[in-house]
Amino acid sequence: MEGWGDDVPAETLGQFCRGPNPVRLNVAIHEQLLTAVDGRRGVEAADRLCEACVVLLDIDAAAISLVFDDASSGTLGSSGAPARIYDELQFTLGEGPCLESVRARIPVLVVDLADPEEARWPAYGPAMLGHQIRGVTAIPIVVAGEFVGALDLFRARPGSLLDDDLAGAIAAAEIAGVPVLDLMDGDLRAAVADPNSNAWAELNALTRAEVSQATGMLVAQLAVEPAEALVRLRAHAYTTGRSATDVARDILERRLKLEGD
């Protein structure tokens, strides 16, 4: 099994995966996660990534939320309607593991919300138990060095994720940076389906030193936050059909100056 193509819906795969031979036997989880988002952008990529998490990891629902500024905070993608409800609860109640993981910049693992010791969230905990959710794992999503959101994984049963699943969850949070960037682009220049989009290539380009350096220059030039500066750099690359690395080099060499708003 080499991941799946566009013609096989993730739900179908789910049936294979619950059998005794999990699909992850041969292919590393992170490769399958990457395959799930390839050719997709924005909300669709976020949804597919969440669906893939449910298929590949021992969890029941997954959601991606953005906790960047008040204007754009909320659930970006989910494995389905229940996941969206679980995730939105913490925005309604103003507390929960996702908000906690972004604030503290670390993964937050809740083994059992029903455990009396687990009284961190007096409103969120009982509300989730009402939805029959016992375990929650929140992994921060980092864009341009800023902790902008989290990947939230929900389990009906108590217990911690096994090491491999946790490694997979952290990989998924890393990949989630790409759809999150799509959605931070206010003009949605990139947030349309793009059959050529390749999450791996994109992640590679965006973590290069010159892209970070150019992001820093844009922060100074445009008086914006780093994540916003990276969104601008990337949007310029899209509109001009160039790579983020080339655009970054031009900014660094002062051959290119992006306009402010």
Contact residues toward another protein (CB under 8 A) are: 28, 30, 34, 105-107, 142, 144-146, 163-164, 166-167, 170-171, 173-175, 200, 203-204, 207-210, 212-221, 225-226, 252
CB of 248 to another protein, least distance (A): 9
86 contacts 97 by C-beta, under 8 angstroms: no
- Give the separation between CA 88 and CA 121, rounded to whole angstroms: 15
149 contacts 141 by C-beta, under 8 angstroms: yes
How far the first Cα of the chain sits from its last, in Å, is: 47
Which of 143, 150, 172, 149 has the alpha carbon at shortest distance from 233?
143
Q: Which helix (H) or strand (E) holds 121?
A: none
CB of 191 to another protein, least distance (A): 22
Q: Considering all CA atoms of the chain, what is the largest pairwise distance in Å, rounded to the nearest integer?
A: 60
Token pair recorded at residue 79: 């494995």
Of 117 and 163, nearer to another protein (C-beta) is 163
CB of 85 to another protein, least distance (A): 28
Of 58 and 146, nearer to another protein (C-beta) is 146
Of 113 and 218, nearer to another protein (C-beta) is 218
Of 204 and 239, nearer to another protein (C-beta) is 204
CB of 139 to another protein, least distance (A): 9
Task: Give the SS3 label for residue 140.
Answer: strand
Chain centre to alpha carbon of residue 86: 16
- Give the separation between CA 234 and CA 247, rounded to whole angstroms: 8
Q: Which residues contact 115 (CB under 8 A, 6 or more apart)?
A: 158
Of 122 and 260, nearer to another protein (C-beta) is 260
- Distances from the Cα of 143 to the Cα of 27, 96, 184, 227, 254, angstroms: 27, 21, 10, 6, 24
CB of 205 to another protein, least distance (A): 11
CB of 7 to another protein, least distance (A): 26
Of 48 and 84, nearer to another protein (C-beta) is 48
Of 127 and 141, nearer to another protein (C-beta) is 141
CB of 110 to another protein, least distance (A): 14
